[in-house]
Structure 1
Amino acid sequence: MYQQPEKCPVCSEPITVTRLYCPHCDTTIDGHFSPAVNPFGRLSPEQLQFLVSFIRCEGRFTALERELNLSYPTLRNRLNEVLKTLGFEPGREDPPARLTAEDRRRILEDLDQGVISLAEAQRMLRGKKEE
């Protein structure tokens, strides 16, 4: 069975599913259906197999090295390729905000005076943005 294409092979516009078929009971349903959202549908078979191995090894590169008989740099590159294909930018997370001693003192004073909650103070001290 072929994988459902996301785009028309002629004009590259999104595909609309118009027929569903059950081979078990021979039922056919006609209509206009939105394709299921599957972010992993963009992965090549090799990338999908790598992801399955990565999950089976619980993300431990040492176990993955043994299973796939590949070096850490090669595994890291393959993971980065998967991340890029899924639309993420590897290594591009916002660094935590650096707090000055004055910022920390102000946060603790606000906590002491009841201006902010303990959870807010902890979040701010960790450098995380407001949620």
Structure 2
Amino acid sequence: MKLKFPVHCPSCSGILTVTELTCGNCETRVSGNYVLPVLMQLTAEEQEFVLQFFLSSGSLKEMSAQTGKSYPTVRNRLDDMIAHIRQLEQQQKTK
């Protein structure tokens, strides 16, 4: 079973932060309070959309053909994600 990287608190749905990083080679640990990059704050479904967008060279027409969804549906999904990313960026600026 592949574990999913949590980005939201299971108690209050707030954005989680990274507090420790560990080297798998020498086990060096770095601790602090680091905000996740915006793209990592996206849901797994949104991250998959970004990956498909990238792999199709940014062609919504190609994505539409690959996914079997209409061009307007894919375009609307992209517009929704742009709005979501802008919201996440704005939240980071106010912290």
Quickly name the TM-score band, shorter chain normalised. 0.5 to 0.7
Q: Map 1:32-43 onto structure 2 (within 5 A).
A: 33-35=32-34, 37-43=36-42
Distance 1:22 1:70, change over 3 A: same
Identity among equivalent positions (%) equals: 20
1:21 aligned residue:
22
**What is the TM-score when the length of structure 2 is the normalising length?**
0.64
- Between the aligned partners of 2:62 and 2:39, the Cα distance in structure 1 is 23
Larger gyration radius, structure 1 or structure 2: 1
- Structure number with the higher helix fraction is 2
Please report how far the alpha carbon of residue 55 of structure 1 lies from its aligned counterpart in structure 2 after TM superposition.
Answer: 1.3
1:53 aligned residue:
52
Deviations 1:46-100 (A, max 9, x none): 1111111111112222211111111011101110121121026xxxxxxxxxxxx
2:5 aligned residue:
3
Q: Map 1:41-80 onto structure 2 (within 5 A).
A: 41-80=40-79
Unaligned runs of at least 5 residues, structure 1: 89-131
Distance 1:80 1:23, change over 3 A: same
**What is the TM-score when the length of structure 1 is the normalising length?**
0.50
CA contact (8 A) 1:20 1:29 kept: yes
- Between the aligned partners of 2:76 and 2:38, the Cα distance in structure 1 is 20
The alignment yields a C-alpha RMSD, in angstroms, of 3.0
Please report how far the alpha carbon of residue 16 of structure 1 lies from its aligned counterpart in structure 2 after TM superposition.
Answer: 6.2
